[in-house]
Amino acid sequence: MVFNLQGKVALITGGARGLGFQFAKELLKNGVRGITISDCDPVEGSTAAETLNKEFGRGKVIFIKTDVTDKKQFEGLNFPEAFQKTVEVFNNVDILINNAGIMNDAIWEEEIAVNVNGVVHGMLLGFDKYLKNFKSDDEAVILNMSSVGGIKGYGHVPVYVATKFAVTGMVKSWSYPTHYERTKVRVIGLCPGATDTTLQVMEGKYIGPEYEDSIKDIPVEQFVIQPAEFVASEMVKLLMNSKNGTMWVVEGSKPAYEYIIPERETFKNNRL
């Protein structure tokens, strides 16, 4: 069954720029009635909301300053406030995109806090509370941003890769049938390849200079940069059509394909 986007309400973390911003735009083009951009950057966040309201009509987009890493803020003021305001303003919340993320192994503890803790926080609030209770229809959907680095190792950014594997694990676990039955919230994962955003600016973001050299081990075709607009148009199709628990790769400006993790039993003859 197709998940109809018309009249739905979405909350996008890290929606001030890059992929998150394009997701907001694409959702509005597809008939979503309200969007909350929740991002830690108040200047870019407000500008993003203003730009979208100019293009799509006043009151369609609100901005709430959110730091997805801060558990105290998360529980007391900040991220819950993003959900609360969404429900206050738009009455519902149907779509959550856990998109906020950084690629910076030089500050790997913060990277883990944003990319892993931030998504866990989003799941606890979105899956168990707000989407479960405030969806406007039979089903809600959460899309978690993993990466091609969430299904394959990359030697130059080992910690970033570890955080994205964690996101893959969250999709695979929160999509268990018993969870779906009790919440009617579908959980899917998106694994983009290299995409044209500020995330790709890597100066000073390695654990050390010797890590950067490891890029040489990766085939160059894997670094063909695609526009964020392309990923956004594929993302919308996934929200509408993909099954609970599925993971999708979008790279090189080609249509999304499903990444399937084989059952480990299929490897049982691969003994030493």
Ligand X SMILES: NC(=O)c1ccc[n+]([C@@H]2O[C@H](COP(=O)([O-])OP(=O)(O)OC[C@H]3O[C@@H](n4cnc5c(N)ncnc54)[C@H](O)[C@@H]3O)[C@@H](O)[C@H]2O)c1
The answer for residues whose C-beta is within 8 angstroms of residue 229's C-beta and 6 or more apart is 22, 26
Q: Does 241 bind ligand X (CB under 6 A)?
A: no
Q: Does 101 bind ligand X (CB under 6 A)?
A: yes
End-to-end Cα separation, the chain, in angstroms: 45
At its nearest, how many Å lie between ligand X and the CB of residue 181? 29
The candidate with the shortest Cα–Cα distance to 121, out of 182, 63, 90, 76, is 76
Q: Does 197 bind ligand X (CB under 6 A)?
A: yes
Contact between residue 27 and residue 5 where contact means Cβ atoms under 8 Å apart: yes
At its nearest, how many Å lie between ligand X and the CB of residue 251? 9
The 3-class secondary structure across 136-151, one letter per residue, is CCCCEEEEEECCHHHC
Contact between residue 69 and residue 117 where contact means Cβ atoms under 8 Å apart: yes
Site size toward ligand X (CB under 6 A) is 31
The answer for residues whose C-beta is within 8 angstroms of residue 2's C-beta and 6 or more apart is 240, 241
Comparing CB distances to ligand X, the nearer of 168 and 195 is: 195
Comparing CB distances to ligand X, the nearer of 32 and 114 is: 114
Task: Rule CB under 6 A: choose which of 131, 199, 239, 249 binds ligand X.
Answer: 199
Comparing CB distances to ligand X, the nearer of 102 and 185 is: 102
The helix/strand/coil state of 41 is coil
Task: Rule CB under 6 A: choose which of 8, 11, 17, 247 binds ligand X.
Answer: 17
Cα separation, 30 vs 172, in Å, equals: 27
Piece of 2-10, 18-26, 130-138, 260-268 that binds ligand X (CB under 6 A): 18-26
- Positions in 127-166 near ligand X (CB under 6 A): 145, 147
Binding site for ligand X (CB under 6 A): 13-14, 16-20, 39-41, 44, 66-69, 99-103, 114, 118, 145, 147, 192, 194-195, 197-200
